[in-house]
């Protein structure tokens, strides 16, 4: 009786449509949570820009641009499965663990990047004095979850003493990179991609090559302390700034992070734990 009432009144059809929309919206929401904090976010932004460009070209009647973009779409959709392979694997793993239905989008209060910069600078100068090899990554807008998962997850408040202790020789966490997000050291002993640049000096070791490699595929700032010479270097955008002193290192970090905090304070919030 009730089902007949719903069918004849159209209420049943409306409920089904609403339920359909809610389910699709929730699935999209969970997928966004999975890719949040990874390079996939930047790739999706690029696809959106291409879509907007194609729409504008179609509206203005730019035939040549339309043709070029139409050829690009075929390549992009074929390559998506390869590009998003880590994110697709993570999504399937989370569905298998039941994590697809249990994660939150809430964020914590805004962090003090000045504290992080001071800790990294002091730890670097301390490591330089003792010639302790160090590799510290400060996450920027491009998420580094893919690399965080290769190491030991910590989620500890950043400090000079903690960073120095991580890289003490022959300790379990010294071999690899420490990744910093906001004012937390989220992981240590992380593996980073080595650069394929054939023009890199042969004098540079694995730490420097890993720092350059990560800076080529992300906007992170990577600080390296050489174990052989004690020199401090910073890698950014595939380039290496070498032989920095304490003041020089602090200036580089402040120029890259404090200015960004001022221009985009909403981004600089510590993201909730496991993303």
The fold adopted by the segment(s) 108-271 is YojJ-like (1 (3.40.1700)
Decide if 138 contacts 178 (C-beta within 8 A). Answer: no
DSSP-assigned beta bridge partners for residue 153:
187
Q: At what angle do helices 11-35 and 85-97 cross, to 10 degrees?
A: 120
Integer Cα distance of 109 and 6 in angstroms: 47
Residue 105 has pLDDT above 50, yes or no: no
3-state secondary structure of 197: coil
- Give dist(CA 197, CA 238) in Å, integer: 9
pLDDT for residue 90 is more than 60: no
For residue 274, the 8-state DSSP code is: -
pLDDT-wise least confident of 76-85, 90-99, 134-143, 175-184: 90-99
- Checking if the pLDDT of 271 tops 50, the result is no
Residue 187: the pLDDT is: 95
CB atoms near residue 132 (< 10 Å): 19
pLDDT digits (tens, 9 = 90+) for 135-155: 999 998 778 888 998 999 998
Residues of each domain in the chain carrying CATH 3.40.1700.10: 108-271
Across the range 97-102, mean pLDDT stands at 50
């Amino acid at each position: 009786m009730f089902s007949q009432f719903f069918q004849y009144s159209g209420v049943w059809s409306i409920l089904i449509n609403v339920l359909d929309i809610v389910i699709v919206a929730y699935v999209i929401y969970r997928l966004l949570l999975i890719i949040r904090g990874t390079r996939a976010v930047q790739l999706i932004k690029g696809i959106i820009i291409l879509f907007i460009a194609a729409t504008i070209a179609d509206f203005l009647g730019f035939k040549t641009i339309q043709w070029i973009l139409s050829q690009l779409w075929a390549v992009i959709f074929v390559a998506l499965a390869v590009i998003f392979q880590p994110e697709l694997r993570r999504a399937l793993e989370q569905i298998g663990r039941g994590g697809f239905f249990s994660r939150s989008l809430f964020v914590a209060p805004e962090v003090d990047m000045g504290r992080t910069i001071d800790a990294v600078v002091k730890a670097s100068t301390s490591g330089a004095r003792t010639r302790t090899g160090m590799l510290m990554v400060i996450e920027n807008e491009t998420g580094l979850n893919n690399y965080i998962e290769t190491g030991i997850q910590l989620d500890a408040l950043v400090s000079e003493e903690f960073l120095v202790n991580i890289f003490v020789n022959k300790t379990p966490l010294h071999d690899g990179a420490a990744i910093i997000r906001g004012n937390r050291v989220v992981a240590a002993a992380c593996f980073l991609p080595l650069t394929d640049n054939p023009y890199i000096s042969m004098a540079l070791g694995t730490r420097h090559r890993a720092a350059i490699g990560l800076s080529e595929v992300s906007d992170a700032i990577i600080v390296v302390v050489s174990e052989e010479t004690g020199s401090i270097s910073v890698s950014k955008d595939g380039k290496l700034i070498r032989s920095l002193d304490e003041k020089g290192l602090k200036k580089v970090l402040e120029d890259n992070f404090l200015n960004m905090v001022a221009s985009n304070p909403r981004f600089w919030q510590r993201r909730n734990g496991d993303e």
